[in-house]
Chain A
Amino acid sequence: MANYAHPEVLVSTDWVVQHLADPKVKLVEVDVDTKSYDEGHVPNAIAWAWNTQLSDQLRRDILSKEQLEALMSSSGISRDSTVVIYGDNNNWFSAWAMWQLKIYGHADVRLMDGGRKKWLAEGRELSTEVPHPARTQYQAEHPDLSLRSFLQDVQAAYKSRAAAMVDVRSPAEFSGEILAPPGLPETCQRGGHIPGARSIPWAKAVNEDGTFKSYDELQTLYSGEGVDGSRPVISYCRIGERSSHTWFVLKYLLGFDKVTNYDGSWTEWGNLVGAPIEKGAAAAAKG
């Protein structure tokens, strides 16, 4: 994990093996496919379903403070726990979970580099036992909204051009050729991207085995698109989970000070009446 701005937020699969029995470490699997956990998971890991446990079930929103406290308490997590999150799809929703935990002030949250894919590929031990942790009385902090962008923030940033906008979707989604990732339901009325956004797909930040690229590689990737931390950054995708992944990279691996995740993302902007939209492939970055 050398060279990252905050290497303490990332652990290797080896580190996890060494801490499987550490009572301070709480392992959580967060998958896109919520049935993956049942196949077999890292021993002692619990599961959070992103669609039911990491989102408000009535309105479109992240968890409220009270909902997060209830989740953490039932998961046996205390304020001083080291929470290690991992999952499928190269940690998309693990990053979504981490983003919410940071919003509510949990101090020690880490991602397992490479996620579930790397654990499987390395042939590491899997368990089908579901832990039943002792309940805690978790107290969250008030939400730190400096980590989140709402629609009005993005609209203001679009007008002022004061922030770098990073669209982390696939090139075909960015250009407007498709309205959702291939094979998934179309969830917007219009295709394209927020004018001025740079196209930097999330996958460019990871290696073939799912681990994050080195600090130098990441710095080259983002600075090549004019995203160098000299001004605030807003990342967005379709529903906010892939952009959490990029938020993590920019905030913790590169150490940019002001990075927000716009979780309304394209399902909000691309459905908004009158919102400006640009279509077409990404233009080359200005030198």
Chain B
Amino acid sequence: MRAEEYSERTVDVNGWQCRLTSYKLGDVYHCQADNVSPGARLARATGATKEEAERQALERATELLSRTRRHSD
């Protein structure tokens, strides 16, 4: 088994950068979301299509990112 269709793209989620890394293993699409800076893993999801895996990972990442508070001086 090898990862196929490996791709990365970055989207903006309410002012936070979120990177979606997707690939196919066998018949299943996998997607992992991280926060770009510093690059910590936020969510993972699988789906029958790339779009479905990305949608689920992004949904979870968005939920987590929405909890992040910016502290001003």
Contacts and interface: CB of A to CB of B under 8 A. Distances in A.
Contacts of A178: 68-71
B35 A203 contact: no
B35 A32 contact: no
Contact of A177 (B21, B23, B70): B70
B37 A179 contact: no
Q: Which of B3, B6, B34, B69 has the most CB of A within 10 A?
A: B3
Contacts of A171: 37
A39 B2 contact: no
B64 interface: yes
B38 A120 contact: no
A182 B1 contact: no
B68 A124 contact: no
B5 to A, nearest CB: 10
B11 interface: no
B38 A170 contact: yes
Contacts of A203: 37-39
B23 A176 contact: no
Nearest to A173: B38
Contacts of B21: 117
Contact of B40 (A123, A177, A181): A181
Contacts of B40: 32, 89, 181, 183-184
A171 B73 CA distance: 15
B66 to A, nearest CB: 9
A90 B44 contact: no
Interface in B3-20: 3-4, 6, 16
Interface in A152-180: 169-173, 176-180
B38 A128 contact: no
Contact of A182 (B2, B16, B71, B73): B16
Contacts of A33: 32, 41, 44
Q: Which of B1, B35, B38, B40 has the most CB of A within 10 A?
A: B38
A202 interface: yes
Nearest to A241: B40
10 contacts: A32-B41, A89-B34, A90-B39, A120-B23, A121-B6, A126-B1, A128-B1, A172-B37, A182-B35, A184-B40
